[in-house]
Structure 1
């Protein structure tokens, strides 16, 4: 193994409290029903169109684009200023892992989201590259392949917390480490961790 590629939400941090408040501030302006933390937890890891289809099936295509753009702007601004909740030990574990492995992030988020994570928590020093669906329009599996190709990775693993992450790792042909503490339930995986710090023993 030469590298580790991470999912973001439900793997490195839990941003749900801030994201819920951000989205609801937008929905209130549109006089739409507000969402719960569990509503948003249920769509974490999906691309924006999939989120719209699941949470707002009554929106026109034009309104969905308008609201999604507003979600993105408010969400990234607030996360840049307030951050999310890092899982226990994330910074110390990344520091140790980066001594031995090249680290990357691949997420289904919009442009600016990973940058917001970096800005508030200052963890960009640990990662050599990142990619997201908002920038490329590609699936997560394709974005994993893209990061592998442009960084000449021959033997990475992918760490994530949802079935979508497992399927993306499979599509990219890389082993999958299931972060069981995150947002999803996954039945198929190569390795499983119940807390982030277990990565140190797994990759020792």
Structure 2
């Protein structure tokens, strides 16, 4: 018998489970070079991620000389995605403690899910290359339900619950897209402070903030008593 208070824990991908800044940064700089724009430093990528590939590119363009016409931005986004897909796991690694944390949750009988605004086929390819796909009962991307239904809308998290049949879900993320979606779906949300946070972690609107994955299981246990 397992008595962990949550039967499902969903995770964001970029900046939550995985530090993808190196590979995203190289793909972003490839697209910027095609537009004749200067590259961004890897640390700057942290402030640009969140909301999907196109939005990341738009933010970088705005910082480096201003936006481009929609047609040019769409073409550059396609070039960025193609480059990223071809080099998707050269530098990406799980954050410290992530694998042990997932093992520990699974040992408690908890179902794991992955819900990201990254395109679903890219999320699956990345997880496949890192040998992580089998850990998740479902993998949901920003385009899984079609245009306009990605986080911070609740739709993807609602699909996560529907697919898994969870009765007591929780979600873990690093940006306002994650906390907004969780809040709209009525799901408790843990924020990781080490990710691509688009605001100070304690101001993102999650229920609680952790600084390392070693803290997640005890934090979820405590959170369950607060949200019961």
Give TM-score, length-normalised by structure 1. 0.89
Could you tell me which runs of 5 or more consecutive residues in structure 2 were left unpaired when the two chains were aligned.
1-5, 222-228
Whether the 8 Å CA contact 1:83–1:117 is kept in 2: the answer is no
Shift of 1:53: 4.0
Query: Which of the numbers 141, 158, 178 marks the counterpart of 2:191?
Result: 178
Q: Is 1:166 paired with 2:173? A: no
What is the 5 A alignment of 1:124-203? 124-136=133-145, 137=147, 138-140=149-151, 141-184=154-197, 185-186=200-201, 187=203, 188-203=205-220
For residue 110 of structure 2, what is the aligned residue in structure 1?
101
Shift of 1:6: 0.3
Query: Which of the numbers 1, 11, 29 marks the counterpart of 1:6?
Result: 11
**In 2, Cα distance between equivalents of 1:154 and 1:43:** 34
**In 2, Cα distance between equivalents of 1:52 and 1:79:** 17
Shift of 1:29: 3.2
Query: Which of the numbers 66, 77, 82 marks the counterpart of 2:75?
Result: 66
Whether the 8 Å CA contact 1:83–1:121 is kept in 2: the answer is no
For residue 93 of structure 2, what is the aligned residue in structure 1?
85
Encode CA deviations 1:95-126: one digit per residue, 9 max, x unaligned: 22123200001111123221232122111121
**In 2, Cα distance between equivalents of 1:128 and 1:52:** 31
Encode CA deviations 1:14-51: one digit per residue, 9 max, x unaligned: 11112111221232233233222244221212234433
- Which shows bigger deviation, 138-147 or 47-56? 47-56
Q: Is 1:51 paired with 2:62? A: no
SS at match of 1:98: helix
SS at match of 1:25: helix
Query: Which of the numbers 108, 132, 138 marks the counterpart of 1:123?
Result: 132
Whether the 8 Å CA contact 1:77–1:116 is kept in 2: the answer is no
| Root-mean-square deviation (Å) | 1.9
Count of aligned pairs between the two proteins? 203
For residue 23 of structure 1, what is the aligned residue in structure 2?
28
Whether the 8 Å CA contact 2:53–2:81 is kept in 1: the answer is no
Shift of 1:83: 4.7
For residue 47 of structure 2, what is the aligned residue in structure 1?
42
Give TM-score, length-normalised by structure 2. 0.81
Shift of 1:88: 1.0
